[in-house]
């Protein structure tokens, strides 16, 4: 199952991705976390590993990918880049681009490192093609941490995923963005579920009134331990009942998808 996690900046996408990955690994799944956010330099720390080398370098780097995208557009192919000549499995991912701990592997597509190095479009193209090309066994899970907002929808990254989780924090902007994510998910026939994050009783009441209740996969209260770990850049080495409940929900979704 390939799970894409999105939402506005600061909603807690990376935190949910890291905690969910740890929960699933403890249940025996082989977990690949794919960091497709070019500006996130914290997810690897939440998983307790070093940031791996950018996966784009395996394909010649960003400049080469941009050249291939331009060549595709000139041929009238809309920037679609053929990257893989065969279907990949977990075992085909080069180990030098992975960091692993406790049954979780981290793959980072790439980061923006230098002034005026160009946009993140090639990273989106690689993310899309990698997810579409990757074949999974039943005990394997991919969790994709995306960049903030909905630009990844414009890049088509969601094409290769089985479901979308929108992380919603207690803000008007986040609630409005969640409705757009839901609309975009429906347009490509990908199921969308909401995780309400950093809530208290009052904010939970308001948020529940604004969202479709049958699409709510989890409700995560504000947590001081999580806040302190994220602030310090420490590994998220804790278990939350609400994350375990989210994992159980997603296992049910996985079974439903497999039955279709």
What does the alpha-carbon distance between residue 5 and residue 21 come to, in Å, rounded to a whole number? 12
Q: Which residue has the tokens 């794919």?
A: 34
Please choose, from the candidates 149, 145, 193, 152, the residue with its C-alpha nearest in 3D space to the C-alpha of residue 33: 145
What is the pLDDT at residue 64? Answer: 81
| CA distance from start to end of the chain | 13
Q: Is the pLDDT of residue 208 over 90?
A: yes
Please choose, from the candidates 71, 72, 64, the residue with its C-alpha nearest in 3D space to the C-alpha of residue 123: 64
Which structural domain range is residue 89 located in? 2-259
| Cβ within 8 Å of residue 259, ≥6 positions away | none
Residue 142 structure tokens: 């991919």
Q: Which 3 state secondary structure label does DSSP give 254?
A: helix
Residue 177 structure tokens: 């963005």
What does the alpha-carbon distance between residue 19 and residue 101 come to, in Å, rounded to a whole number? 13
What does the alpha-carbon distance between residue 112 and residue 110 come to, in Å, rounded to a whole number? 7
How far from the centroid of its chain's Cα atoms is residue 166's Cα? 10
**CATH number for 75:** 3.40.50.300
What is the pLDDT at residue 260? Answer: 67
Comparing 39-53, 112-126, 198-212, 238-252, which segment has the lowest mean pLDDT? 112-126
Please choose, from the candidates 8, 32, 244, 230, the residue with its C-alpha nearest in 3D space to the C-alpha of residue 130: 32
Give the Cβ contact number of residue 46 at 10 Å.
Answer: 26
What does the alpha-carbon distance between residue 219 and residue 38 come to, in Å, rounded to a whole number? 27
Q: Average pLDDT, stretch 11-34?
A: 97
What is the pLDDT at residue 65? Answer: 80
The count of structural domains within the chain is: 1
Report residue 77's pLDDT band, with 50, 70 and 90 as the boundaries. Answer: low
Helix (H) or strand (E) holding 144: strand 140-145
CB 4 within 8 A of CB 34: no
- For the entire predicted model, the pTM comes to 0.93
What confidence tens digit (pLDDT) does each residue in 163-190 have? 999 999 999 999 999 999 999 999 999 9
Whole-number average pLDDT of the chain: 92
The rounded percent of the chain whose pLDDT value lies above 90 is 77
What does the alpha-carbon distance between residue 103 and residue 31 come to, in Å, rounded to a whole number? 7
What is the pLDDT at residue 82? Answer: 78
Q: Average pLDDT, stretch 183-202?
A: 96
Q: Average pLDDT, stretch 137-157?
A: 94
DSSP secondary structure letter of residue 85: S
Please choose, from the candidates 255, 253, 220, the residue with its C-alpha nearest in 3D space to the C-alpha of residue 239: 220
């Amino acid at each position: 199952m390939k799970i894409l996690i999105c939402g506005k900046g600061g909603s807690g996408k990376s935190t949910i991705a890291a905690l969910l990955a740890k929960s699933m690994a403890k249940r025996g799944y082989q977990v690949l976390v794919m960091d497709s956010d070019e500006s996130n330099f914290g997810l690897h720390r939440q998983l307790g590993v070093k940031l791996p080398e950018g996966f784009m370098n395996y394909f010649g780097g960003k400049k080469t990918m941009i050249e291939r995208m331009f060549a595709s557009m000139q041929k009238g192919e809309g920037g679609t880049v053929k990257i893989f000549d065969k279907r990949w499995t977990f075992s085909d991912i080069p180990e030098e681009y992975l960091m692993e701990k406790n049954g979780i592997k981290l793959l980072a597509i790439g980061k923006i490192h230098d002034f005026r190095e160009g946009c993140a479009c090639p990273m989106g193209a690689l993310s899309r093609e990698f997810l579409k090309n990757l074949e999974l066994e039943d005990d394997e899970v991919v969790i994709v941490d995306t960049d903030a907002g909905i630009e990844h929808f414009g890049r088509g990254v969601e094409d290769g995923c089985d479901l979308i989780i929108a992380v919603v924090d207690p803000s008007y902007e986040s609630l409005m963005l969640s409705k757009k994510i839901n609309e975009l998910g429906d347009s490509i026939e990908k199921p969308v579920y909401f995780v309400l994050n950093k809530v208290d009783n009052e904010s939970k009441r308001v948020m529940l009134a604004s969202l479709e209740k049958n699409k709510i996969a989890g409700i995560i209260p504000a947590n001081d331990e999580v806040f302190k770990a994220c602030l310090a850049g420490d590994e998220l080495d804790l278990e939350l009942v609400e994350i375990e409940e989210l994992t159980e929900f997603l296992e049910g979704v996985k079974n439903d998808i497999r039955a279709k």
